[in-house]
Amino acid sequence: MYQSRANNPRLSSWVELDSQSDFPIQNLPFGVASWENNDPRLVSRIGAFVIDLNYLHEKGFFQGIELPKDIFKSTVLNPFIELGKNTTCALRDRLSILLEDSTDYAEAQRHSETFLILEDQVQMHLPLAIGDYTDFYSSIEHATNIGKMLRDASNPLLPNWRHLPVAYHGRSSSIRVSGTPVIRPNGQTKLATAESPIFGASRNVDFELEMAFVIGKSNALGHPVTVEQAEEHIFGLMLFNDWSARDIQAWEYVPLGPFLAKNFASTVSPWIVTLEALEPFKVQGPVQDPEVLSYLQYSGALNYDIKLQVAIQPAGAEPSVICHSNFKYMYWNMCQQLAHHTVNGCNMQVGDLCASGTISGHEPNSFGSMMELSWRGTQPIDLGNGLTRGYIEDGDTVILSGYGRANGVRVGFGKASAKLLPAVQY
């Protein structure tokens, strides 16, 4: 792992920062934004400000780092990520020098009114060209809850679950950046008491609280990525809401799994937090029993203590937090997921996304989906002011957020939010 100076918890910045900001000098994530009449371009973030990387590059502040002339004028991060970790990490470290209080680069502060733009004055864009997207199913608590509801309460996990990271191929074309509305999907559903299915709008639209990792280094077809190599192939993480239509899913998922129930929308946060920035939050994962096969074995801490929460904001009302979870609960970690994904020789490309699957904990308020929180709608959730929810209703906005805290430093992801709109009428 690249040893980053930007992670130093003693660093402070000349930029004024709120103590609860997700974006201290120790974060410096990457995204894509536009403002005024500019085309979308690559940016970073500190506090309430977006950082214009192209301006700093043109003014020579990145001198000594080998960067193509117009690299920050790209409308997606893929070309920048493809430069490799030695370059992207060096760039993040240089930013930490430019923004550090009492820095040798005091000249940067004199340009601050030009390269620092208030975040409420910019439009954030989907930061990647996502070629492929895979959704894992790696929380044992979530898999157990779903198994109890849909299979056998006494034997909820399928025989393969503890032996491999289960996953399915999702639909990358419907992934949208935070703030993009989601339209309620139509499809086939079948009531338990009915003999035949019907067509119409899903009645059981759900969120799934997930994290997604971004592939930062490709592997050649036929050449797997080992658990030990995986971190070199992961650029960073994003918040991920894998919207789901549970009633469509219940009818279609046998024998090949979800299709229309999952491919209509996914929401991601606009900022990619680098794996290096998350290094201070590494923790040991759960004990895996039985022992996994050799290609999935690992040593050290590969889980991450990232506190997660979900809020629902009904139209005209205040948000109500309904879930507190943590990324550290994952039974299968990201390195195992990537090793399994490629063990057959599957070639991953820069910009591909792999989502964790729903992140649930042991306690009912840590369940990462409405299906679990309301137990298939039988125990509606109290949102206050007389409002309850079994599933997501039209006009509701679902808001995901998350952060890690260590050594007095908070590093977060911002928000991944989207409003559910009514279905298209046929």
Task: From the candidates 57, 111, 125, 142, give the one annotated as an active-site residue.
Answer: 142
The strand pairing partners of 399, in sequence order, are 311, 417
Would you say 138 and 329 are in contact if contact means Cβ atoms under 8 Å apart? no
Place of tokens 């929308």: 265
Is residue 142 part of the annotated active site? The answer reads yes
User: Pairing between strand 409-421 and 182-183?
Assistant: parallel
Q: What is d(CA 36, CA 209) in angstroms, rounded to the nearest whole number?
A: 33
Only one residue has tokens 């990490």, namely 89
Tell me which amino acid residue 84 is.
G
**Which long-range contacts link 195-200 to residues 24+ away (Cβ below 8 Å)?**
197/251, 199/426, 200/423
Any residues with CB less than 8 A from the CB of 118 and at least 6 apart, and which?
48, 49, 50
Helix (H) or strand (E) holding 55: helix 53-58
- How far apart CA 330 and CA 56 sit, in angstroms, is 39
Buried b (16+ CB within 10 A) or exposed e, 282-295: beebeebeeebeee
Q: Are strands 30-34 and 41-46 parallel, antiparallel or unpaired?
A: antiparallel
How far apart are alpha carbons 127 and 50 in whole angstroms?
A: 14
Per-position pLDDT tens, the chain of length 426: 678 899 999 999 999 999 999 999 999 999 999 999 899 999 999 999 999 999 999 999 999 999 999 999 999 999 999 999 999 999 999 999 999 987 666 788 999 999 999 999 999 999 999 999 999 999 999 999 999 998 888 899 999 999 999 999 999 999 999 999 999 999 999 998 999 999 999 999 999 999 999 999 999 999 999 999 999 999 999 999 999 999 999 999 989 889 999 999 999 999 999 999 999 999 999 999 999 999 999 999 999 999 999 999 999 999 999 999 999 999 999 999 999 999 999 999 999 999 999 999 999 999 999 999 999 999 999 999 999 999 999 999 999 999 999 999 999 999 999 999 999 998
